[in-house]
Amino acid sequence: MGPDLRGAFLQPIRELIGPDHRVYLPFVATSFALAAVVWLLRRGRGSAPLLRYLVPWRLFLHRSSRFDARWLVVRALAHAVIAWPVKVTVVGTMLFVSGHLRDVVGSPPWDSPKDRALVVAAFTLVTFVADDFTRFLLHLAMHRVPALWELHKVHHSAEVLTPLTLYRVHPLESVANNLRGTLTLGACAGLFAWALPGRLSGWEILGVDALGFAWTALGSNLRHSHVWMTWGPLERLFVSPAQHQLHHGRSESTWNKNFGSALAIWDLAFGTLLLARGRRPPRVGLSRAERNHGLDAVSALVDPVVAAARALARPWARARSARPDGERAPASPRAPKTEGSPGADAQPLRRHG
């Protein structure tokens, strides 16, 4: 059985009606409500009317936003094809981890509690924190590893931010992120299945992790928007929409900050936290020198992969061309090297982020 292309084609509709998706319509509604509160708090002379503030057509009809809408379908189809051979599941990962722990460590010396309320609470909290941490690590790698940065540029190339910008990622990145989520949840489930065997579940709302549901309902869609919403001192604990907008700024000094998704403590620990208080909304996107693709589906699919392959090959080319100090490169048989001609020292590898 091949990839589910029909399901991928219908994925944009599922995003709107599924509570496990960011742009689930009730989540969009709560984001509009929070944006209206921001408008009320900052309303002044010359402010735009509420409706124009909530739905700025110059942003939603921008060429970057139109690309996001087209890319939603393209990415879903490409993701289905690329992810089809990947046969990693939460249950399979859970069984592997719990079985490996039993083989190596043995059964835990304590009895599993019959009252599962605390187990459910602990599992909910641990999986939320673990998922957020691995999301942070992958995002950090997307900026620090040159080949991954070439793929991640698809997301950072957005010239304006709307909730659909969330889906403006290269399909290879989306497959990697899905794999990360599967392995993280499976590993947590396996650890709990070994340590506290018995019925295992977490708090849920509409079949979705309760903490993730609440976090999304509290304005996650404003992360990719024009609404500048800061959280004051809480930005040292949680990532505000404004902090993520700073991350999308054109300056390398901001796009290498605020890698966190929900919790800001990871950025604080890694020295990448940037508070939004006292700052202004940045100009978002990439400079012309940083862009590696155009605003068409073929270019956005192919060119970042080519750029990533070049980034991977660069260290090999550098190693091959490098020579020990003082040693000259061999002379060309066609053009004998004359005294004083330049050596063959490799150019330094340029790293992004």
Question: How does pLDDT run along the chain (353 residues), one tens digit per residue?
Answer: 678 888 787 888 888 888 888 899 999 999 999 999 999 988 766 678 999 999 999 999 999 999 999 999 999 999 999 999 988 999 999 999 999 999 999 999 888 888 889 999 999 999 999 999 999 999 999 999 999 999 999 999 999 999 999 999 999 999 999 999 999 999 999 999 999 998 888 898 888 899 999 999 998 999 999 999 999 999 999 999 999 999 999 988 888 999 999 999 999 999 999 999 889 999 999 999 999 999 999 999 999 999 999 999 988 877 777 655 545 445 544 444 433 333 333 333 334 44
Q: Where are the domains of the chain?
A: 5-307
Q: Over the stretch 236-259, which tens digit does the pLDDT of each residue have?
A: 999 999 999 999 999 888 889 999
Contact in structure between 156 and 66 (CB atoms under 8 Å): no
Contact in structure between 161 and 224 (CB atoms under 8 Å): yes
Contact in structure between 22 and 215 (CB atoms under 8 Å): no
Residue 256: which residues within 8 A CB-CB, separation 6 or more? 143, 272, 353
Determine the Cα–Cα distance for residues 130 and 262; give it in Å rounded to an integer: 11
pLDDT at 271: 96
Residue 268: which residues within 8 A CB-CB, separation 6 or more? 236
pLDDT at 30: 95
Query: Cα-flanking dihedrals φ and ψ of residue 111, to 5°?
Result: -90, 140
Closest residue by Cα to residue 294 from 159, 174, 114: 159
Q: Over the stretch 65-124, which tens digit does the pLDDT of each residue have?
A: 999 999 999 999 999 999 999 889 999 999 999 999 999 999 998 888 888 899 999 999
Contact in structure between 318 and 353 (CB atoms under 8 Å): no
| Burial track 292-309 (b if 16+ CB lie within 10 A, e otherwise) | bbeeebeebbebbbebbe
pTM of this structure: 0.86
Alpha helices in 105-209 (DSSP H): 117-144, 146-156, 171-195
Q: What is the DSSP string of 209-268?
A: EHHHHHHHHTTGGGGGSS-----GGGGGTB--HHHHHHHTBSSHHHHTS---SSBSHHHH
